[in-house]
Amino acid sequence: MNNFKTALVWLAGISLLIQVAVAALPFDWFSDDKMPTLAPMLDQSKPAVVNIATRSNVRIQDNPLLDDPFFRRFFNIPEQQPRHRTKQSLGSGVIFDAKQGLVLTNNHVIHRADEITVSLTDGRSFQAEVIGSDPATDVALIKIPAEQLTALPLADSDKLRVGDFVVAIGNPFGLGQTVTSGIVSALGRSGLGIEGYENFIQTDASINPGNSGGALVNLRGELVGINTAIFSPGQKSGNIGIGFAIPSNMVKQITEQLIEYGEVRRAHLGVQMQDISPELANAFNLKAEHGAVVTRVLQDSAADKAGLQVGDVITAIDGDKLLSADSLRNTIGLLLVGQTIELDILREGKVKTLKAIVKETKKQIAQGAVHPKLAGATFGDLEQSSPYYGKLDGVVVYSVKRESPAWNAGLRTNDIITSANKLPIKTLDDFKPLAHNGKQLLLNLTRNGRAMFLLLR
């Protein structure tokens, strides 16, 4: 009898907790017929998620030898007119600022697009202009000339926990706006090789092709992330329950710089590092179980001036613990240029704190006496975030203004120039003397993993 009474007390307590939890929700959890539903929350959130269609004129790549003037002259081959084809793609976006008409999406959704069309849930469509993009985090910001928009409020993604319910809203496979639900499966996913700076939210809410750039929201209808990628072994195109979203806090930091500068002015510490391991800890006689080991300090960098040395283990930045070298790179890459930070390090078993002022990555904007066909492009050395870092020598094209001479000549963002006039290029300093002249310039490029020639004259 006592067990029966105890069970009744437990049931009553659980019932009360459920009622309190439901009452705390910011929307009516139950429909008119008393069935649980997410519909009221989605009615408020779905108008803030848009469909994005892009159109690009893609140059058909001919044999690279046909771009070599010596080869054409030797075989008496006339100059070839470039051939193009039209490429279309679909994605999603999230209205970030209703008054300004600002829409968040993925960089890969609008990358190299000549025309971007944004369609709203109320049937309206607008041509969008690009405010800025950041390939390293796959975040882009576009603007539409629309009024009476609905924006999603941003949640604090640092407060997310594994097991929290989330909903993905997007345009999978071009079917139209679709909603899927799930939970947060993991947090802080990095080292996946998807983007240069990774700190993904992992979710089992279905994210499929076309969902990219769409919203991941919590049960309050707040934006917790931008859906960006799926894990699909064996090159399968469907979702298997492992999707990734960029956290809203990271998106907010990136967006603030895109609004102000049109790009991310990424801070640079000036070190190369690797994860601490039990073997390395024993070799250096350290007790650290987390952090990043400094393997190289670049001369005259922020790290060099702060006093960092090879073999130091960085365990925290501004008091926040670092779990790995990836977390260190992510933290530094999202700081503001010129910001002063405190580094907690272990050196020969002793705890030290150093102060560093992070600098901007070295870049050069082509202007002045530069080759006329390079005007409008921004160049720089390979960053550690690049998948080609340590594998390829060359200069990166960081940005190209649309309709500029560089754009019309065929240069595109993320091209890597490996040689100019058949001379190998390793750094920006190698490229400068060749770029600042008006003579013919034969560039050897790597674009999306493929080599090609580009003749500027």
Q: What is the pLDDT of residues 262-275, one digit of tens each?
A: 887 777 787 877 87
Domain boundaries, the chain: 45-143, 157-261, 267-360, 363-456
Whether the predicted pLDDT of 187 surpasses 60: yes
Q: What is the pLDDT of residues 12-25, one digit of tens each?
A: 555 544 444 444 45
Whether the predicted pLDDT of 35 surpasses 80: no
Contact 332, 273 (CB under 8 A): no
Report the range out of 33-37, 225-229, 399-403 with the highest average pLDDT: 225-229
- Higher-confidence residue of 251 and 32: namely 251
Whether the predicted pLDDT of 135 surpasses 50: yes
Assign domain 267-360 to its CATH architecture.
Roll (2.30)
As a whole number, mean pLDDT of residues 399-412 equals 78
Q: One of 45, 185, 206, 212 is an active-site residue; which one?
A: 212
Report residue 4: phi and psi, to 5°. Answer: -65, -45
What distance in Å separates the CA atoms of residue 425 and residue 394, rounded to the nearest whole number?
5
- Residue 194: the pLDDT is 65
- Residue 20: the pLDDT is 46
As a whole number, mean pLDDT of residues 56-63 equals 61
Percentage with pLDDT > 70 across the chain = 75
Whether the predicted pLDDT of 278 surpasses 90: no
Confidence of residue 225 (pLDDT cuts 50, 70, 90): very high
What distance in Å separates the CA atoms of residue 293 and residue 286, rounded to the nearest whole number?
11
Residue type, position 177, single letter: Q
- Any idea what DSSP says for residue 177? S
- Residue 368: the pLDDT is 40
Residue type, position 429, single letter: D
Q: One of 67, 134, 138, 415 is an active-site residue; which one?
A: 138
Whether the predicted pLDDT of 136 surpasses 70: yes
Whether the predicted pLDDT of 235 surpasses 70: no
* C-alpha pair distances (Å), 403 with each of 114, 374, 410, 412: 10, 12, 10, 11
Residue 212 catalytic? yes
* Contacts of 347 by beta carbon, 8 Å cutoff, 6+ apart: 309, 311, 312, 313
The CATH label, of 2.30.42.10, 3.40.50.300, 2.60.120.260, 3.40.50.720, for the domain at 363-456 is 2.30.42.10
- Residue 161: the pLDDT is 92
Q: What is the pLDDT of residues 62-103, one digit of tens each?
A: 555 555 665 566 666 666 655 556 667 788 899 999 999 999
Residue 108 catalytic? yes
Confidence of residue 166 (pLDDT cuts 50, 70, 90): very high
Q: What is the pLDDT of residues 361-370, one digit of tens each?
A: 655 444 444 6
Tell me, which fold does domain 157-261 have in CATH? Answer: Thrombin, subunit H (2.40.10)
Could you tell me if residue 173 is left (phi over 0), alpha (psi between -120 and 50 degrees) or otherwise beta?
Answer: left
- Residue 17: the pLDDT is 46
**Token digits of residue 109:** 């959704």
Confidence of residue 104 (pLDDT cuts 50, 70, 90): very high
- Residue 76: the pLDDT is 65
- Residue 23: the pLDDT is 47
- Residue 226: the pLDDT is 92
**Stretch among 21-30, 272-281, 350-359, 430-439 having the lowest mean pLDDT:** 21-30
Contact 105, 143 (CB under 8 A): no
Closest CA to 402 of 173, 210, 114, 206: 114
Topology match between the domains 45-143 and 157-261: yes
- Residue 68: the pLDDT is 62
**Stretch among 153-157, 268-272, 286-290, 441-445 having the lowest mean pLDDT:** 286-290
What distance in Å separates the CA atoms of residue 61 and residue 320, rounded to the nearest whole number?
48
Q: One of 67, 92, 108, 312 is an active-site residue; which one?
A: 108
The CATH label, of 2.70.98.40, 3.30.230.10, 3.40.1110.10, 2.40.10.10, for the domain at 45-143 is 2.40.10.10
Q: What is the pLDDT of residues 297-339, one digit of tens each?
A: 877 788 888 888 888 888 888 888 877 777 777 777 777 778 8
